[in-house]
């Protein structure tokens, strides 16, 4: 098992991006469901594992977590609209803008901070729980 939260989550961001590209190339229900499942799992892990274990103490960190959760809700709303076949191209376009910006903040700032600030016990707990959920 890798001992870096950043490395694990970078890999997951790569999966999400690949599945979105596959869906755009072949906009089938099967491809959409694959993309949706991986993205929903990812958001679940962030909110129910990482954010729960991370001990955020500063106002800035609380603000960042609130922003990340808001972006998660926005992404889920977009997914719901795509699933309902409602303005798919517009929603996918918006999702393609939100996802990279969201991932960039996490990959460059948030996850490295977790790897640096969390003690080994909390990092191991996050990695173990994430690995359980991401297992394929």
Cα 91 from Cα 114, distance rounded (Å): 31
Cα 62 from Cα 81, distance rounded (Å): 29
pLDDT computed for residue 1 by the predictor: 44
Entry pTM: 0.89
pLDDT computed for residue 56 by the predictor: 67
pLDDT along the chain (136 residues), means of 10: 83 94 90 94 94 79 90 94 79 91 95 93 94 82
Cα 129 from Cα 48, distance rounded (Å): 10
Cα 58 from Cα 43, distance rounded (Å): 23
């Amino acid at each position: 098992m890798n001992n870096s939260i950043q490395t694990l989550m970078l890999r997951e961001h790569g999966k999400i991006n690949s599945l979105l590209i596959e869906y755009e190339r072949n906009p089938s229900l099967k491809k959409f469901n694959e993309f949706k499942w991986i993205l929903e799992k990812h958001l679940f892990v962030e909110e129910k594992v990482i954010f729960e274990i991370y001990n955020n103490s500063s106002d800035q960190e609380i603000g960042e977590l609130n922003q990340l959760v808001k972006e998660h809700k926005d992404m889920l709303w977009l997914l719901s609209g795509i699933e309902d076949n409602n303005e798919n191209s517009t929603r996918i376009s918006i999702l393609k803008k939100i996802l990279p910006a969201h991932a960039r903040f996490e990959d460059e700032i948030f996850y490295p901070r977790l790897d640096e600030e969390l003690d080994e016990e909390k990092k191991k707990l996050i990695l173990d729980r994430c690995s359980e959920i991401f297992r394929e």
